[in-house]
Amino acid sequence: MSGLKIAVSGKGGVGKTTLTVLLAREARRKGQKVLVVDADPDANVAATMGLEKEPPPLSQLSELIGARTGREGLVKLNPRVEDIPERFSAMKDGIRLVTLGAVRSGGGGCACPESSFLRQLLLHLLLERDELVLVDMEAGVEHLGRGTAQGVNALLLVVDPDLRSLHTAGRIVRLAEDLNLSQVWAVANKVGSAADARRIEGAVPRGLRMLGTVGAWDELRLAGVHGLGAVPPELEREVGALLSALQRELGAARAGQAGSQEQQGEGAR
């Protein structure tokens, strides 16, 4: 299945970036076209991917943003952005990366040019691109408005044995409900023992289903610093299982939706 749009969120340090890059690699290995969006203001996907030349944080391209959103008066809400992914991205091992960067704003939802530009770019990436898009977010869904959320097929909330990560996940689940995101899944990361797994399972908040588990791997501990090197086959299998489970669940959800639409159609006739 290509074209899925997956957002990854969760508490800081749980492994959002690491899992995003692992999933991107796995999908690429299976022959899919993959684009990763680093939407965390504290961006470190490029380092984790091991990119020598990082793509520019888009929010800092003031000249370009000014030119696209209008220099004076009202900020254009739908600036042209289709050329941005190709022009301002970096590639490594067939995976494309765009980095959004931080937006200086006094509170969320400002009408500043940077946020208007980035919002339009996300809309474009989520609604119009045909490849698998993985969005590495901060601990929340602030980047998603109603429009962008429509394009997200699934939200993965990464949690780990530190149960505070489950509280954060619970908070994000409620935000996701407000955005009508129905496919919200927990991924347990850094699970080092059966006791870890049980503790997480016992604390999963309502509205959150478990998609799968990734172990605590020494090979991943310094991924953010040195970049992700080759990973052991067993870890590759864990990530493969995660991606398959996701595709299976989303495939079932799509089939279910099509079925109920058909039924509605029949009822109307």
Ligand X SMILES: Nc1ncnc2c1ncn2[C@@H]1O[C@H](COP(=O)(O)OP(=O)(O)O)[C@@H](O)[C@H]1O
Q: C-alpha dihedral over 256, 170, 1, 3, to 10 degrees?
A: 110
Q: How many Cα atoms sit within 13 Å of 269 on the Cβ side? A: 6
- Nearest-CA neighbor of 242 among 162, 158, 166? 158
Distance CA 185, CA 89 (A): 28
Total residues contacting Mg ion by CB under 5 A comes to: 2
Binding range to ligand X, per CB under 6 A, among 101-109, 171-179, 209-217, 251-259: 209-217
Q: Which is nearer to ligand X, 45 or 75 (CB)?
A: 45
Q: How far is the CB of 129 from Mg ion (least distance, A)?
A: 22
Distances from the Cα of 47 to the Cαs of 97, 117, 138, 140, 263, in angstroms? 11, 25, 16, 22, 49
Instruction: Single out the residue of 15, 57, 79, 101 in contact with ligand X (rule: CB under 6 A).
Output: 15
17 binds Mg ion (CB under 5 A): yes
Choose from Mg ion, ligand X, none: what does 223 bind? Cβ within 5-8 Å by kind: ligand X
- Nearest-CA neighbor of 56 among 113, 100, 96, 6? 100
20 binds Mg ion (CB under 5 A): no
9 binds ligand X (CB under 6 A): no
| Beta strand pairing call for 132-136 and 209-215 | unpaired
Q: Which is nearer to ligand X, 27 or 81 (CB)?
A: 27
Measured at the CA of 83, the angle between CA 79 and CA 87, to 5 degrees, comes to: 125
174 binds ligand X (CB under 6 A): no
Q: Which is nearer to Mg ion, 11 or 96 (CB)?
A: 11
Direct distance between the N- and C-terminal alpha carbons of the chain, in angstroms, rounded to an integer: 32
214 binds ligand X (CB under 6 A): yes
Q: Which is nearer to Mg ion, 46 or 75 (CB)?
A: 46
- Cβ atoms of residues 17 and 136 within 8 Å: yes
Q: Please provide residue 50's backbone torsions phi and psi, each rounded to the nearest 5 degrees.
A: 80, 30
- Residue numbers 18-47 binding ligand X by CB under 6 A: 18
Q: How far is the CB of 79 from Mg ion (least distance, A)?
A: 27
- Nearest-CA neighbor of 35 among 10, 5, 67? 5
Choose from ligand X, Mg ion, none: what does 41 bind? Cβ within 5-8 Å by kind: none
Choose from ligand X, Mg ion, none: what does 168 bind? Cβ within 5-8 Å by kind: none
165 binds Mg ion (CB under 5 A): no
216 binds ligand X (CB under 6 A): yes
- Pattern of binders to ligand X over 100-139, x per CB under 6 A? ----------------------------------------
Contact residues for Mg ion (CB under 5 A)? 16-17
